[in-house]
């Protein structure tokens, strides 16, 4: 009995030491690593389809070690709460808009300024380059997978807008810094998230909305507006994120983290291209419906750009007041776009 007790105690000690020393072996025996992914885009939207393919690619390249359950359309977390839900662990991974948490990301707000964007590839490359250079502490609560930003944000309205006088007094849906753009141009901003905008337009709560061309088809705005104004010189973008809970990231084996890093780099590039694809589709969608496409005259476009210019100085001043290099961030963005 004494010998049996010694052997049993030794076996227990060996098992304990093995599990402490080789936790990966223990976790592997427990099955795949299960993660959930929350996205506010509707399931049929191309951004949602691309996000779901990211999940499948992670599973494929990890040989099934990681399985990601995908929740589109805000079914796991509402759009405005997704970031905080990732921080607290309600969602392991989340895709949403920085501007829905106004004031929480002061340095990154530079991306949302009316800098005169031309396309989604350009905007997405810029936001990732900005993050790589400045590593803003405002994102320290999470692990960034990749960032993105949509193509130029234009004015979509129920009645044609060709001049600043046409815009004056119009109730326009906007979020984040886009609220200030609407105000600067003489409109009245009304805050809603993307999923709420169709109904606001349909019922007349707002007379128009700011956003990329893709929203005309992807969010069905083209059904409830009749005109789009292409104000390129004052066109803005909106920064979006794909982030992971920081503790969840730290728990992943190094070889799995490597797979995530590789896939993220590829998907950031894919995401920029998808923005441009769906902007083109949005344009074709409303042209087929007979909606009016208005190109501002060069003189009028310049007037619009001049109206929003004070926003750039305001951003720099606000960032500096918070001890952030706003002047450097703005210069970085402007130099990047000139290239």
Tokens of 228: 């789009």
Q: Which residues pair with 230 in a beta bridge?
A: 295
Q: What share of the chain is helix, strand, coil (3-state, %, to 5)?
A: 55, 15, 25
pLDDT of residue 175: 85
Fold of 32-151+238-278: D-Maltodextrin-Binding Protein; domain 2 (3.40.190)
What does DSSP assign to residue 296? P
| pLDDT interval class at 193 (50, 70, 90) | confident
pLDDT of residue 132: 98
What's the CA gap between 239 and 216, in Å, rounded? 19
pLDDT of residue 101: 86
Tokens of 34: 């299960």
Query: Is it true that domain 154-236+290-338 has CATH number 3.40.190.170?
Result: yes
pLDDT of residue 12: 47
Domain(s) labelled CATH 3.40.190.170 in the chain stretch across 32-151+238-278, 154-236+290-338
Phi, psi of 179, rounded to the nearest 5 degrees: -60, -45
pLDDT of residue 26: 37
What's the CA gap between 8 and 126, in Å, rounded? 62
For tokens 């990681």, name the residue: 66
Please tell me the pTM assigned to this model.
0.86
What's the CA gap between 277 and 97, in Å, rounded? 20
């Amino acid at each position: 009995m004494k010998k049996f007790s010694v052997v049993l105690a030794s076996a227990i000690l060996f098992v304990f030491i093995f599990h402490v020393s080789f936790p990966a072996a223990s976790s592997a025996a427990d099955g795949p690593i299960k993660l959930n992914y929350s996205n506010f885009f509707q399931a049929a939207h191309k951004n949602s389809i691309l996000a779901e393919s990211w999940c499948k690619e992670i599973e494929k390249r990890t040989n099934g070690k990681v399985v990601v359950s995908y929740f589109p359309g805000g079914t796991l977390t509402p759009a405005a709460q997704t970031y905080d839900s990732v921080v607290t662990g309600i969602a392991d991974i989340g895709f949403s808009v920085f501007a829905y948490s106004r004031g929480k990301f002061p340095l990154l707000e530079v991306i949302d300024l009316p800098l005169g964007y031309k396309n989604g590839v350009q905007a997405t490359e810029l936001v990732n380059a900005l993050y790589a250079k400045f590593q803003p502490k405002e994102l320290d609560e999470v692990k960034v997978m990749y960032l993105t930003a949509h193509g130029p944000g234009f004015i979509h309205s129920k009645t044609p807008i060709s001049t600043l006088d046409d815009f004056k007094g119009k109730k326009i849906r906007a979020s984040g810094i886009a609220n200030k753009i609407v105000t600067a141009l003489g409109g009245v901003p009304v805050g809603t998230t993307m999923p709420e905008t169709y109904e606001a337009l349909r019922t007349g709560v707002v007379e128009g909305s700011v956003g990329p061309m893709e929203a005309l088809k992807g969010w069905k705005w083209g059904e409830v507006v009749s005109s789009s104004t292409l104000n390129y010189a004052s066109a803005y973008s909106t920064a979006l994120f794909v982030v992971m809970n920081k503790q969840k990231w730290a728990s992943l084996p190094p070889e799995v983290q490597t797979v995530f890093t590789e896939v993220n780099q590829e998907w950031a590039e894919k995401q920029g291209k998808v923005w441009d694809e769906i902007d083109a589709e949005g344009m074709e969608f409303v042209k087929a419906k007979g909606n009016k496409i208005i190109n501002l005259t060069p003189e009028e476009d310049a007037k619009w750009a001049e109206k929003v210019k004070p926003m750039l100085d305001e951003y720099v001043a606000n960032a500096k007041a918070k001890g952030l290099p706003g002047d450097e961030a703005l210069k970085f963005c402007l130099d990047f776009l000139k290239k």
